[in-house]
Chain A
């Protein structure tokens, strides 16, 4: 029993790592631009396909594929900012609807480029850290955990210690006041979109060998991300991380003892409950929607 719990805990920590990468990006985009990016799950999918294309098909080094995934998806994010969210800045619902349209486009492009089949990505390493007979952690999962901790710490330092980070937080709090201080809203939007999309891309790239990569994989990712950001409070980065950890534990435990569908129902019910009782989420303060 103790071993089962320990193994479930390890699985949950892994799940929390990539969930928080995706959710933090979504929150960052919402915080600065006030628009919910429905295509965020598809950005994750793009990151996974970068690894499929470069690492699995063209035998390039895994690290290189991940770096390309990060930059490529970040650039796609920049394109979305320029083409969709900037013209629709005064129309949050329009931005959301446009991102739903973009989701369909990305899915269709993935289907055309790679087909609907599941892609097999060979694992980077077969090594497994054995804690005891029943408690094991595959090294690729460890990579995801380490990457999440490093990236989220770097983001935290960037937001709290650098001038760009200050500008970003200022325009999240009050865009007009920030603009009056000489902060370019377009520039902070670009930075937020690049980082947010890039985090989703790298999460997809890192987990590509561990999940089944297919054009529709973004669907469950975006639902998970919504649950996490609603429970954590839309616009709160710390809340998103805490909620990702909490949700990962609940989801993993319910999956272990019942099944995955029940776990999804529990997660969605949890989100509905938070929406009913405290729509600003457990850690949210600002109500921009």
Chain B
């Protein structure tokens, strides 16, 4: 019953959501939608046990690629967004040859180095990347009249609906991937890599797949961002942004699909509603740093463990009631 009613209800709530918000809150909602895609793609990568510090840069690769395709080649925006995601996946494929020779801590540092190299290349080469100032005046999504609703993509509400569809489809694909044999093998590669290898699983190939798919979706989130704000520069994808993604994933927990999404939503609400309204915007890095430390120390399994605890209790109570009866 919940399954039949739950999804349409969620969809209706998501569609109705922006109409109860102020303009700036609608804008935040767009960024939140994009960040949900980013953090979910990050989780896909962590399924194989690798923690990357270059994921935000892969988002940037998608953003830069899509911006350049539309500006230099005049490609139609939605198509260039897909191409941007594909470009990020291809760059990840190339990077996977050196990076996936490493594991654990070395992969972390290696991905950090690779990301910094890409970022420095953007900074150094004015042509075509625009140097430290980045790319400005990126073509927006063209307006679109669907009969019942005319989409003006300068309006956050319209862009939110567009992003919602893109992110929704992407999340569904990632969910299906995780539930498929491929996704189960990702788990095996993480927890039992020697055993998986002995059972004939090509561990390296699966780690490559996870890295490429995750980077592709990160790139897609980057293209969503680029065509919304219209200007990107190397500092949009710096270590601070990476720390935010890391914080969302760790505060939320990465054992479940919804964990990082919870982390992202809760921290965004905390940040935008609490901090900005109260005028503590400058303290954002401080709060995020403290949150990161506290969640590693006191809630190592993340907010999802709290949710799981609540769900388990709800399931337990009717069962115990039946036993008594």
Chain A residues in the interface with B (C-beta under 8 A): 36, 84, 87-88, 91-94, 96-98, 100-105, 107-109, 111-112, 219, 223, 226-227, 230, 259, 261-262, 264-265, 268-269, 271-272, 275-276, 279, 289
Contact = CB atoms under 8 A, between A and B. Distances in A.
Most chain B CB within a 10 A radius of its CB, from A36, A88, A219, A268 = A268
Nearest to A105: B289
Contacts of B113: 226-227, 268, 271-272, 275
Nearest to B294: A101
A108 B98 contact: no
Contacts of B106: 275, 279, 289
Contact of B239 (A102, A219, A259): A219
A108 B286 contact: yes
A276 B101 contact: yes
A97 B247 CA distance: 9
5 contacts: A103-B289, A105-B286, A108-B289, A109-B286, A111-B282
B76 interface: no
Contact of A230 (B109, B288, B292): B109
Contacts of B240: 104
B289 A268 contact: no
B238 to A, nearest CB: 9
A247 to B, nearest CB: 13
Contact of A104 (B104, B282, B286): B286
B1 to A, nearest CB: 41
B299 to A, nearest CB: 12
A105 to B, nearest CB: 4
Nearest to A107: B285
B133 to A, nearest CB: 14
Interface string B111-125: 011101100110110
B201 interface: no
A54 B291 CA distance: 31
Interface in B75-131: 98, 101-102, 104-106, 108-110, 112-114, 116-117, 120-121, 123-124
Interface in B253-293: 282-283, 285-286, 288-293
A262 B292 contact: no
Given A98-B292, A98-B297, A268 B117 contact: yes
A268 B120 contact: yes
A105 B290 contact: yes
A26 B206 CA distance: 34
* Closest CB pairs A-B (n = 9): A104-B289, A101-B292, A108-B286, A289-B105, A105-B289, A101-B293, A101-B289, A108-B285, A261-B124
A272 B282 contact: no
A104 B289 CA distance: 5
A289 B108 CA distance: 11
Given A230-B109, A261-B123, A97 B297 contact: no
B121 A265 contact: yes
Secondary structure class of chain A's binding surface, majority of residues: helix
Given A36-B105, A230-B109, A276-B98, 14 more contacts: A91-B296, A98-B292, A98-B293, A98-B296, A100-B289, A101-B288, A101-B289, A101-B296, A104-B243, A104-B285, A104-B288, A112-B283, A272-B117, A275-B98
Nearest to B238: A219
B300 interface: yes
B250 interface: yes
Interface in B10-57: 51
B305 to A, nearest CB: 15
B67 interface: no
Contacts of A227: 113
Nearest to B284: A108
A104 B243 CA distance: 9
B109 A87 contact: no
Given A96-B108, A275-B109, A105 B114 contact: no
A43 to B, nearest CB: 15
Contacts of A261: 120, 123-124
Nearest to B289: A104
Contacts of B293: 84, 98, 101-102, 105
A264 B296 contact: no
Nearest to A263: B120
A264 B98 CA distance: 19
B212 interface: no
A91 B296 CA distance: 10
Interface in B230-257: 239-240, 243, 246-247, 250
Nearest to B110: A275
A79 to B, nearest CB: 12
Contacts of B246: 97, 100
